[in-house]
A and B are shown apart, each in its own frame.
Chain A
Amino acid sequence: MIAVFIETRDGKIKKSSFEALSEAKRRAAELGTDTVAVLVGASVETHAADLKPYGPGKIVCLENPALADYSPQGYSRALCGFVRETGASALFLAATAMGKDLAPRVAAGLGAGLASDCTKISVKDGTLEFTRPIYAGKAFLTLILASTPQVATLRPNVFPLDAPAAGAAAEVVKKAVDIPDDFIKGRVAEVLKEQSAEIDVTEADVIVSGGRGLKGPENFALLRDLAAIIPRSAVGASRSAVDSGWIGHQHQVGQTGKTVSPNLYLAVGISGAIQHLAGMSSSKYIVAVNKDPEAPIFKVADYGIVGDLFEVIPRLKDELKKILAE
């Protein structure tokens, strides 16, 4: 059985958890086993209705009032207990902020190997084989895990999402988790949202990213204006723009920033240093706007405009507006 941890934020299931469940179903079918979607919290049964259309074999709610706030210790205890009891052969989690925080604890608790931030999972000789970028995508490691169970985190935005089937049924089981007093020594006390309703670069379908060519912090407004008209988009940045203090580091894409794989990555005024290319070269389409025709970014771009970004970007926005209105 492949268990899938289902993450919720703001009362909703994360899209990346549905992606992990979709992938688990595909691999489970190949292995001749089933899937279980696992929710963790104080009272999580309400989410079962949203899960059913994605077709898990079963939905399990691991509950305890002490799990109302996310805590790596509490959640790890719940998941480790579940995997031990059921003998699940694998546990998948989305490689989100929570998944990356939690998966290593669960793996260590189970004495299991962990494949982090996978971009591909296949079945080879009856065993799961995982592929994951290392050196921020400068190389790809393929591995199997010499342990039972096996734990993996799946990079968001990479694995295809199954179409939900309305009316699908699945058994829902509630289980109380035993958590001793004083077991949880750290927890999330508060979630602080960014002022703007911007989505994170790791979750965006489209990233409009700026570099040194923008010449100053004020010109990121050009990119924000452009991103504002594109659904599910976010503003990214190169290291030099971040290190110059033009934009917050949470926007940085590259080896000391975030590794992203959106459908469309628009690199504006970014020359394409190797550590930046590493972080975005798994994007489905790359577009570069740069005035230097020799910029390395053009070597990886599917489409490029050689020109002055200050002239091109406003016009690009007008053209996009037209086509998006259609």
Chain B
Amino acid sequence: MNILVFVKRVPDTESRIRIQHETRSIIEDGLNFVASPYDEYAVEEALRLKEAKGGTVRVVTVGREDAMPVLRKCLAMGADAAALIKDDMPETYDGLRTARIIARAVERKFAGADLLLFGKQSVGADNSQVPAMTAELLGLPQASVVTKLEIEGAAGTALREIEGGMEKVVFSLPAVVTAQKGLNEPRYETLKGIMAAKKKEIPVVKLDELGLTAEELAPKIVITGLDAPPQRQAGKILQGDPAETARELVALLHSEAKVI
């Protein structure tokens, strides 16, 4: 089974996001960048499938050279190969542009994959766009936000999370699947893996090798503003007897906030 896993470099979830208002972008200085947490579940699932069924796992990202450490981490986890599709454009928050790059790369550079795995979203852009867009562009079925995946021959069954329950999705391969927390417990890199990953060559695919037109590469999203969230004011703090504070709180929720 040949599996492609798509990962993205993002600021870790403990990061405080600061904004550069003139460029309408976030300030990257001082941020710690990691593989998006959901991507780790995707890599782990790929490795487990490979261990059970054989085949190869290739990890791919679209981004700048500074995304290399994320690919090395995935190699250290056990991926066979990696590739960087080099795109120097800063964060566009535009899913379609990235999906077009990935779909074209799958056709031209990584043909023959049985499964395309992604995290359910990057923590950051929070779009949840790229996997389903890639599936549409390639005419493939998809199962997104998956917590259980089974592959049997050329068919797959997945449980995907919906409001208050699950959907059982059946599909044929090749397919796009996106990983949700709960799918598995990602392994840590081993020292041996880290050493081996350092030595592996990571090929770089140039954007112009993909033959996309300027129109196809133009972001559809035009950023008109980037702002910090509205500051919340600290409110009333109640202290003292539990029964008394509970009564007071309910009275406030009822008569002042009017939410109860």
Contacts and interface: CB of A to CB of B under 8 A. Distances in A.
Interface of A: 9, 70-73, 76, 96-98, 100-109, 111-117, 124, 129, 131-147, 184-194, 198-200, 202-203, 206, 230, 248-250, 252, 254-257, 259, 263-264, 273-275, 281-282, 284-287, 293, 298-308, 311-312, 315-316, 318-320, 322-324
Interface stretch (B55-63, B104-112, B135-143): B135-143
Given A141-B225, A303-B249, A188 B169 contact: yes
B124 A134 contact: yes
A147 B260 contact: no
Nearest to B120: A100
A305 B163 contact: no
A237 to B, nearest CB: 12
Given A113-B220, A312-B245, A139 B171 contact: no
A321 B186 CA distance: 43
B212 interface: no
Ranked nearest first, the 9 interchain pairs of A and B with the lowest CB-CB distance are: A186-B141, A113-B220, A186-B171, A142-B225, A104-B132, A200-B163, A108-B133, A315-B246, A97-B162
Interface of B: 11, 13-17, 19, 26, 37-38, 93-96, 99, 123-137, 140-145, 157, 159-172, 175, 180-182, 218-229, 232, 234-240, 242-243, 245-247, 249-250, 252-254, 257, 259-260
B136 A146 contact: no
Nearest to A259: B126
Given A136-B123, A139-B228, A192-B166, A306 B135 contact: no
B159 A252 contact: no
Contacts of B17: 135, 138-139
A70 B160 CA distance: 13
A140 B229 contact: yes
Given A107-B129, A284-B259, A143 B93 contact: yes
Given A96-B163, A104-B133, A143-B93, A303 B13 contact: no
B166 A185 contact: no
A117 B126 CA distance: 9
Q: Is the interface of A mostly helix, strand, loop or mixed?
A: mixed
A191 B164 CA distance: 10
B126 A133 contact: yes
Contact of A114 (B96, B180, B242, B253): B96
Contacts of A203: 163-164
A138 B16 contact: yes
Given A307-B242, A319-B247, A136 B126 contact: yes
Residue among A199, A264, A312 with the most chain B CB within 10 A?
A312
B124 A135 contact: yes
A268 B227 CA distance: 29
A257 to B, nearest CB: 7
Contacts of B19: 139
A112 B130 CA distance: 13
Contact of A144 (B26, B143, B222): B222
A124 B125 CA distance: 23
A256 B123 contact: yes
9 contacts: A140-B225, A184-B141, A185-B141, A186-B169, A188-B167, A193-B165, A303-B252, A306-B239, A312-B245
Contacts of A302: 232, 235-236, 257
B135 A147 contact: no
Given A185-B141, A191-B167, A281 B229 contact: yes
Given A114-B133, A134-B126, 8 more contacts: A76-B136, A104-B132, A113-B220, A129-B224, A138-B229, A139-B19, A144-B222, A263-B259
B36 to A, nearest CB: 9
B239 A307 contact: yes
Given A104-B128, A315-B246, A319-B250, A141 B226 contact: yes
A320 B254 CA distance: 9
